[in-house]
Amino acid sequence: RMDQALLLVRNELPAEGLCLAALSSSCHQCLYQFLAFVPPSNGSQTKPGMAAVTVDTQHPLTLLLNASVGDRELCKIQYHFGEFGNYSLVVKTPSTSNKTVSCDLVINEGPINSYLPILFAFLVYMGILAILIVGCLLMKIDPVRNWVFKKLNPRETDHLINSELGSPNTTESPSSDPPPHLWSTASRQRLRSLDTFRGLSLIIMVFVNYGGGKYWFFKHESWNDICQVHFPSAPFSRFVFIMGTSISLSLSSMLRWGSSKQKVLRKILWRSFLLILLGILVVNPNYCLGPLSWDNLRIPGVLQRLGFAYLVVAALELLFTRAGAESGTLETRCPALQDILPYWPQWIFIVMLEVIWLCLTFLLPVPGCPRGYLGPGGIGDFGNYPNCTGGAAGYIDRLLLGEKHIYQHPSSSVIYQTTMPYDPEGILGTINTIFMAFLGLQAGKIILFYKDEHKQIMSRFLIWSIVMGIISAILTKCSKEEGFIPINKNLWSISYVTTMSCFAFILLLLIYYLVDVKRLWSGAPFFYPGMNSILVYIGHEIFENYFPFKWKMQDSQSHAEHLTQNLTATTLWVIISYLLYRRKIFWKI
């Protein structure tokens, strides 16, 4: 099968049976898992004891061979098997006089290169991008542009030429279109970088949700995130971050245009209610499996968490917003902190939330588990706490929501073989999601306070990124497993939030510089799904199992076919969002 290899164990020892066990390098402090018993050869060289097992190829494995009698360790081998490879492990004594045991790993049939489809897909998309760039450059040449317009619509040729080159009567007509520079000014009022940032995060999220070609590195990490920036962990957190940025800008705009706080609050409550309702009744249930049933309906979810975080952060911003702060007319003792000090009550509220998270996480007693347990349970921590998945976070969800109403197949179930349900969008992690959105809100305030001061905006983005990075380094000790609070997307740990916000500030800085400052990039194609983010997210969840987003594969064990299907589905949503943008159709909640 995919991500597996065949291992034939050949036991030439005359009187000793073998017990084969394996341990994945991605499984922290785990127990060896029994794979097979290999019988002895009984003195026959022509008929040695044999056993065939499948081994995982996603991560390096440590194979342990023990004698079946006395549990004596014979040999230990570390090896990273290749997908669909065929291997033999020969166990024998080099000579009759020598009692030492040798274990030789032989490659019978070489593995395939399962990463070639990624390279091919990259080249295809780069080819499409090159064609589009060349096409845009050619369209800037007047004869080429006029020829294209003529071929597309001969009757409108004169009108199109005049609209592009200008006609003698255009400037004299009172009903004529505004000059090109006025159109440019109007179109740049909305920061394209924010929609581009949102669209990029969304498209990666859609690709990962569709399967990511079934590659392990496009799946959510089993527990603690590797290298602190695991690919699938980042999109949702960046989406939360940019939601906070949009809250700052949208609330400022509504209040500036004369909307009362009561009216804005009603809109915040209604939008939050709709997001939570859509998540519970539309996104979570799989209607292909039957009608909606309360008995096993999952209550938490992505939209639910977005809705609740939006409610808290938007209400917090609305409650403590101060007249004159954003225009720079409000005096502060420290001008360098003018985007922070006027909002000190918000910071006190966020600090209180983080204190609550820390107290519940590290002080709440969980039956059968040590206080402050942050591990995956299962076979992790040497199998001492098999039912402690997620510690206090999992316990609170099971206690308040019930085991049947949370996620039943957490990512920890594969590597750590956990059996307890655990929801990565649970109650306790929502506190840190609010913190992530609040940091995005801070980015929005920077844009408002330093409007059109590009150097100030970018320098403050950089400062915030450095501060968040330093906090992450302290919390994690720059280690995956050994820090005070590991980076963990399942728990939405505070170190996860500071790390993801560190990279979110950097990414926003780069996109803002390219799109809105230098205008070297229009934001396409990510700008279009960013303008219709809710529609694209809900649509990709609803139509996930329908053609043309999914079809019956000829070989379901092929990364190439899965990657083709997942990239096709993701690209279709980009095309749909582009067509909706061209028709000025935007679904807002």
The residues annotated as belonging to the active site are 220
Least Cα distance to 31 among 418, 419, 481, 378 occurs for: 378
In contact, 90 and 106? CB cutoff 8 Å: yes
SS3 91: strand
The tokens 């029994």 sit on which residue? Answer: 34
* Residue type at position 294: W
Report d(CA 522, CA 69) in Å as an integer.
69
Least Cα distance to 490 among 381, 397, 351, 360 occurs for: 397
SS3 552: coil
Report d(CA 147, CA 152) in Å as an integer.
9
What phi-psi label fits residue 529: left (phi over 0), alpha (psi between -120 and 50 degrees) or beta? alpha
Strand-pairing partners, residue 107, are: 87
Report d(CA 311, CA 328) in Å as an integer.
27
Report d(CA 545, CA 547) in Å as an integer.
7
* Residue type at position 497: V
Q: Which two tokens stand for residue 284?
A: 């979570």
The tokens 């998309």 sit on which residue? Answer: 125
In contact, 322 and 330? CB cutoff 8 Å: yes
Q: Which two tokens stand for residue 219?
A: 């799946």
* Secondary structure (DSSP) of 450-487: TTT-HHHHHHHHHHHHHHHHHHHHHHHTT-SSSSSS--
Q: Which DSSP symbol is given to 280?
A: I
